[in-house]
Amino acid sequence: MYTSRMNIEELTKSQLLLLTVLVTFVTSIATGILTVSLLDQAPQVVTRTINQVVERTVKTVAPALPATVIKTITQAPAPSNEDLVTSALSAQDSRTVLVYSVDASTSTPAIAVGTYIPSAHAVVTAKAKKLPTKASIEFPNGSVVLATLTNTVGGLSRYDISDKAKTPKVSNPKLVPAKNLRLGETVLAIRGDGSATTGIVSQVTSKGVHTTLPSIGAGVGAVDLSGNLIGIATGDAKGLFVSSDVVASLLTATSKNATTTSKTTKNTSVKQ
């Protein structure tokens, strides 16, 4: 059977134009599919950089583009729920610290778990009789700094770290007021051993924030999907946290030497 072959030199101008349009169209579709596929697999830092380049480019050509086109180009894709969870847990993990006596090794079990608040240069943990006046604070990266127990408010205790001490650079959490919490809102926590757990807000009462989180130990902090602090675990009841309102009061209260088991420490009242 004889098969005729098309000679491109025999095409008319109209046919050449249509062929060019077809090739361009197919190429653009393939390029778009490849680009989207690569962006889905790229790290957030790469996606963020590309978005910044696009935004700057749009600012240059914005006067020539309709508003609807500009909105479509500059609108970044919404992060998935998985991205929010992993990001929030990562942020809280970097702020979760272990509390030891100054004369104890960090290879021994920690006395308490706490949450580091960079803006206050302090660690917040659950109140306990065994908390020492002077303590060693161990960060997830292995660095250790000295801290002093300075205050106790509403079931929480505060350790102040010297301004001269070198602490890891971590994000500062916002404190979420109890009145802003919603039933069913996702809560996340990092235990002292570094393991993660998730749950929801089940109730907010005068006792604190009740969650479906399992018993995770006193002093562990709970955060929302944005990595903002919801509360500190009491360790007395399953899933109960002292709200961030108490954390805020503790951080703003006048520093006083808290009551400890040491005979040389004087009891003091806390101004609120």
Dihedral sign of CA atoms 77, 80, 86, 91 in order: positive
CA 253 to chain centre: 26
State the pTM of this model. 0.64
pLDDT of residue 261: 35
For the stretch 157-188, pLDDT in tens is 999 999 889 999 999 999 999 999 999 999 99
pLDDT of residue 143: 93
pLDDT of residue 216: 85
- Which residue ranges make up each domain of the chain? 11-78, 178-247
| Two structure tokens written together for 265 | 């420490």
Residue identified by tokens 């562990």 is 220
What's the CA gap between 265 and 157, in Å, rounded? 15
pLDDT of residue 263: 36
Strand partners, 54: none
Under 8 Å between Cβ of 117 and 173? yes
Concatenate the DSSP letters of all residues of 130-181 into one string. Answer: T--SEEEEE-TTS-EEEEEEEEEETTEEEEEEPTTS-----PPPPB--GGG-
Q: What is the CATH number of domain 178-247?
A: 2.40.10.10
Buried b (16+ CB within 10 A) or exposed e, 85-101: beebbebbebbbbbbbb
Using only C-alpha atoms, what is the Rg of the chain? Answer: 28
For the stretch 84-97, pLDDT in tens is 999 999 999 999 99
Q: Residue 98: in which H helix or E strand, if any?
A: strand 96-101
Half-sphere exposure (CA, 13 Å, Cβ side) for 242? Answer: 26
For the stretch 19-65, pLDDT in tens is 788 888 888 887 777 776 666 665 666 666 666 666 666 566 555 55
pLDDT of residue 33: 75
Strand partners, 233: 241
For the stretch 105-158, pLDDT in tens is 777 889 999 999 999 999 999 998 889 999 999 999 999 999 999 999 989 999
